[in-house]
């Protein structure tokens, strides 16, 4: 098993990528601390993992607060004794996120608080736990929009994911000689509730999908598989990357300088 005897903390574990990652990591031998604001959803994930014979501790926490992030890391260490994998995956995409003129300040602030500050706080409290365990892997969920502009305006979301990518690169360099790897998972457009709720018309979905060479939306499970590689020792020489899993989207639009 690829994560045998490892302890993983996953935020946003109640739905989407986080849920699929929690189930997959547990199936590969990890003890999972599943973190989410949705108590029913995260309890359901924990129940499914335990029913399959795995170990899971559900934690209700707001990653945009220091107390929430400190508490979730403490819960992982108290329940399982250590932390080896930190998957900062929680994120939001607000329906009224648009261009600079239409996006309200409150939308900007809330998006940044969860998507960018939540990753910073996760690392602030999670990296010391990884150090206590002798090293480990940090995976931060960014997005393809950190590299290219979105066809449908979502300025706060795009800016927040750019911040995640920059933060990831710097922390990868800072901790490279401490046996801590830090990578950014950059999904392309996914068929998840988060994106489908934002692309709420067929026209919006087509406008996004037309840019994907593979011609389809990705699946949350495919992102979990990519995160599993970054979490495992198979990626022992991989750090500071923008790990794109986007159906070829950025290859079609980003050219080397």
Please list the active-site residues: 157
CA distance 41 to 36: 8
In angstroms, the Cα distances linking 234 to 1, 87, 168, 237 are 12, 16, 19, 8
Q: For the stretch 58-69, what's the b/e string if a residue is b when 16 or more beta carbons lie within 10 angstroms of its beta carbon? A: bbbbbbbeeebb
CA distance 67 to 83: 18
In angstroms, the Cα distances linking 49 to 13, 41, 43, 80 are 12, 13, 10, 15
* Under 8 Å between Cβ of 1 and 7: no
CA distance 192 to 257: 33
């Amino acid at each position: 098993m690829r994560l045998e005897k490892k302890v993983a903390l996953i935020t946003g574990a109640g739905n989407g990528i986080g849920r699929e990652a929690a189930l997959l990591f547990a199936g590969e031998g990890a003890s999972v601390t599943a973190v989410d604001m949705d108590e029913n959803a995260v309890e359901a994930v924990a129940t499914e993992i335990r029913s399959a014979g795995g170990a899971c501790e559900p934690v209700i926490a707001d990653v945009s607060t220091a107390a929430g992030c400190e508490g979730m890391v403490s819960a992982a260490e108290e329940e399982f004794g250590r932390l080896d994998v930190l998957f900062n995956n929680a994120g939001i995409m607000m329906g009224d996120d648009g261009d600079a003129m239409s996006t309200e300040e409150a939308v900007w602030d809330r998006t940044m608080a969860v998507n960018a500050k939540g990753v910073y706080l996760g690392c602030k409290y999670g990296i010391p736990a990884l150090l206590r365990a002798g090293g480990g892997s940090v995976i931060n969920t960014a997005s393809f929009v950190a590299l290219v502009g979105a066809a449908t305006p979502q300025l706060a979301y795009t800016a927040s994911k750019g911040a995640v990518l920059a933060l990831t690169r710097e922390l990868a360099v800072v901790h490279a000689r401490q046996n801590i790897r830090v990578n950014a998972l950059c999904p392309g457009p996914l068929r998840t509730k988060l994106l489908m709720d934002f692309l709420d018309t067929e026209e919006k979905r087509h406008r996004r999908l037309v840019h994907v060479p593979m011609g389809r939306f990705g699946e949350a499970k495919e992102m979990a598989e990519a995160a599993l590689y970054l979490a495992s020792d198979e990626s022992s020489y991989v750090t500071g990357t923008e790990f794109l899993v986007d159906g070829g989207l950025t290859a079609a639009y980003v050219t080397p300088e």
